[in-house]
Amino acid sequence: MKKEISEILIIGAGPSGMVSASYLHNQGIKVLVVEKSIFPRFQIGESLIPQCMDNLEEAGLLEAVKNAGFQKKFGARFIKDEKIGEFNFSEKYGEGWDWTWQVPRADFDHCLALEAQKKGVKILFDTEVINVEFKEGHSTTIVRNSNGELTEIQANFIIDSSGFGRVLAKQLKLEAPPQIAAHSSIFTHIEEPDRPSGKEGEIITFEVLETQVWFWYFPFSNGNSSLGFVAPTHWFEQFSKDPDVAMREMMNKLKFYNNRFTDHAFIFKPIKVENISRNVTQLYGKGFVLTGNSAEFLDPVFSSGVSFATASGLLAAKLIIKERNGEKVNWENEYVNYIKEGVLVFSSYVKEWYSGNLQKIIFHRHPNPEIKKQICAVLAGYVWDKTNPFVKKHEHILQNLSKLIELEEASH
């Protein structure tokens, strides 16, 4: 068996793994990344939010993405029947980026990986982690490539960024019940040569069919667009078992986008992912940390996945450097509590979206401009800014505001 030694082993070359790898490498630390697929490979999670720009920038990956020519995203639009709620990130409360991108993830993830390689990060593609053992302060990992060749990797520390591969969560039995009720999703891409010009062909849109059922439309700069539905798992049972037919049946239920995509062939058979949300009992342990989706995933609504994946990847890398420099790291406070703080804010927004309270606020015809700015900052991913009342009081503020809107509507 071949042998490799690396100070840090990173499992997975998605955005979380690439931000960790690039940041650590830039600080002179030897990392080895193992990735089971060959890039470019398809991945879902295509609408970014501005906060992830901070993470890409700190990891030294932003310029490469800027040069890739992805579709810029300046905000998002929500539509339900005749009601429209639109957010423009340039009108958000507080500091931070006011734009980002919507990206075909095959190209985006490839761009990050190529840039990390260009810096000197070693990535073993087509190589899957099949076993990890921790002993006396270091780890031994067995990986296998598609020719069946095995390699043993010795590392002092493992960053598990394996996304839904959930390598350490499975191996160390860290899986926990999800925080969000069971939702599923089905999605595909289309070619869209007849896309409307201007804003209509650029803005990402969420069309709400029922309070808990929504559709996404993300136009990409390569002329293709992403279409998908998210709903409670049982909602999908009424449709055909054939994903092509089911997706068309669902699209017939759209109002705003009705008929818009009828003549467009699917680029690939629609993919269904069941019961999307993931959680773990533990985010770190002796010799390892979980980042990105290998740790947790809430729900696609509000597109927070890549932002959390890169934020946690970056923070884990910074704490590893701190520890390496001989400083004490309190992983519970400095990592778990920080990440959970952000996740809790977003989970309030996700829960109140599905309860209908947040939809009442978003579709309110006369929104208070200050409140809208503060909510916009949360949707941009700035969920750690406690000067924002919509961050600080996230647990109740949406319910209270929704009640006020109800009372106001009842009095008219």
Ligand X SMILES: Cc1cc2nc3c(=O)[nH]c(=O)nc-3n(C[C@H](O)[C@H](O)[C@H](O)COP(=O)(O)OP(=O)(O)OC[C@H]3O[C@@H](n4cnc5c(N)ncnc54)[C@H](O)[C@@H]3O)c2cc1C
Q: Which residues bind ligand X (CB under 6 A)?
A: 11-17, 34-37, 43-48, 128-129, 161-165, 167, 185, 273, 276, 292-293, 297, 300, 303, 305-306, 309
**Smallest distance, ligand X to C-beta of residue 412, A:** 36
**Smallest distance, ligand X to C-beta of residue 302, A:** 8
Between CA 55 and CA 308 the distance in angstroms is 10
Nearer to ligand X by Cβ, of 203 and 405: the residue is 203
**Smallest distance, ligand X to C-beta of residue 370, A:** 27
**DSSP secondary structure string, 138-172?**
EEEEEEEETT--EEEEEEEEEEE--GGG-HHHHHT
Between CA 384 and CA 412 the distance in angstroms is 37
Nearer to ligand X by Cβ, of 12 and 270: the residue is 12
Tokens 């992983």 map to which residue? 331
**Smallest distance, ligand X to C-beta of residue 401, A:** 25
3 phi, psi to nearest 5 deg? -130, 145
Nearer to ligand X by Cβ, of 294 and 402: the residue is 294
**Smallest distance, ligand X to C-beta of residue 227, A:** 12
The single-letter code of the amino acid at 396 is H
Q: Which residues pair with 34 in a beta bridge?
A: 11, 124
Instruction: Answer whether 247's CB lies under 8 Å from 265's CB.
Output: no
- Strands (DSSP E) contained in 266-384 are 271-273, 279-280, 284-285, 288-290
**Smallest distance, ligand X to C-beta of residue 303, A:** 4
Element (H, E) at 294: none
Question: In the 3-class helix/strand/coil scheme, how is 190-226 assigned residue by residue?
Answer: EECCCCCCHHHHCCCEEEEEECCEEEEEEECCCCEEE
Nearer to ligand X by Cβ, of 42 and 330: the residue is 42
Nearer to ligand X by Cβ, of 346 and 363: the residue is 346
Cis status, amide bond into 389, omega within 30 of 0: no
Nearer to ligand X by Cβ, of 47 and 374: the residue is 47
Nearer to ligand X by Cβ, of 371 and 384: the residue is 384
Nearer to ligand X by Cβ, of 85 and 300: the residue is 300
Which burial class, exposed, middle or buried, applies to 79 when counting CB atoms under 10 A from its CB (0-12, 13-18, 19+)? Answer: buried
**Smallest distance, ligand X to C-beta of residue 135, A:** 20
Between CA 203 and CA 218 the distance in angstroms is 7
Angle, CA 222 vertex, CA 218 and CA 227 arms, to 5°? 25
CB burial string 8-37: b at 16+ within 10 A, e below: bbbbbbbbbbbbbbbbbbbeebebbbbbbb
Nearer to ligand X by Cβ, of 22 and 162: the residue is 162
- Strands (DSSP E) contained in 260-308 are 271-273, 279-280, 284-285, 288-290
**Smallest distance, ligand X to C-beta of residue 406, A:** 30
**Smallest distance, ligand X to C-beta of residue 295, A:** 8
